[in-house]
Amino acid sequence: MKYPIAGIVLLASTPALALDAIPDSFPTPMDNPISNAKVELGKQLFFDPRLSIDGTVSCNSCHNVMASGTDSRPTSVGVNGQRGGRNAPTVWNAAFLSTQFWDGRAATLEEQAKGPPLNPIEMGMPNAQAVVDRLESIPGYKAQFNAIFGAVSYDNMAKAIASYERTLITINSPFDRHMKGDKTAMSDKAIKGMKRFNTIGCSGCHNGVNFAGPALATGTGFFQKFPLFNNPLIAKYNLAKDKGRYEVTQDNADINTWRVPSLRNIATTAPYFHNGAVKTLEEAVHVMATSQLDKKLSDAEISEIVAFLESLTGEFPAQTMPRLPGITGSSLVGSIK
């Protein structure tokens, strides 16, 4: 069944692609069909800092959809000023990823949405029931949950947030327009960069709709070792300290293995890499060529590839701040010990 939201057609599946434009459909799970009411509820929850223990951190704090879907910091700031250990990935186009987080520990957007509220560094709520209790104490939320799902629950909270996140799609990038036949959409330099991106091997990992690997079954994930080749840049940017997926699986084969990140809108999401240590896109290309392909690129070659990567910046649909349901006569913040 097709369901239009903000100009996007939602389908139950989307075809596997190599290097291609964003399609007119994206995958939605059968157990969480989209509706306007669910998306609106999810949007409110995404922007509401009351999902954090002290009322200071919302999903949008780290994944700012008024901009690039990130917070432009090396690592994010959570409750009590705590710093996370990894750079916040953009939430834009996350619907096209087959697994979530840098280490792929969440199979779906729904599962991903359950993580931050209970993370002691991020939003700091003590348990799922505490989140449910807080939502139920806000009449406007309780009414919406009851109308959409029949009840407030932690799973239903995650379903609503994931539904909103699936609408965060950037279309009509110069690359997309080029692939759909507008041969004036990309500059000659960007086209040269796209060819070089392919010929030197970047597209071996960064392919598919999201330039994050091929379309796979949900939860499968497309992973790669990083770094593959040791060099002074690894130590300079401390890129090998975090063991990546190994922290989830405890399997030695997964040491320094990562879910391949999307390259869409990459020009807007600095700083780069899992620890946010690299400040510029040019340097990120230099690091990747050296560390993954064992290639030394000239400044001119790097500039061409950067021009291509800049062509992956799409149109960001306008987002409006939601009106959050209020409470009267009491305060929620600080009510949980």
**Virtual torsion, Cα 273, 15, 319, 74, nearest 10 deg:** -10
Estimate to the nearest angstrom the gap between the alpha carbon of 104 and the chain centroid: 11
Reply yes or no on whether 111 is catalytic: no
Q: Which residues are paired to 4 by β-bridges?
A: 9
* Residues 292 and 227 sit within 8 Å (Cβ to Cβ): yes
DSSP string, 36-47: HHHHHHHHHHHH
Question: What contacts 79, CB < 8 A, 6 or more positions away?
Answer: 52, 53, 54, 56, 57, 121, 122, 123, 124
The radius of gyration of the chain from alpha carbons, rounded to an integer in Å, stands at 20
Which residue among 110, 122, 165, 310 is the active-site one?
A: 122
d(CA 295, CA 282): 15
Supply the residues annotated as catalytic: 122
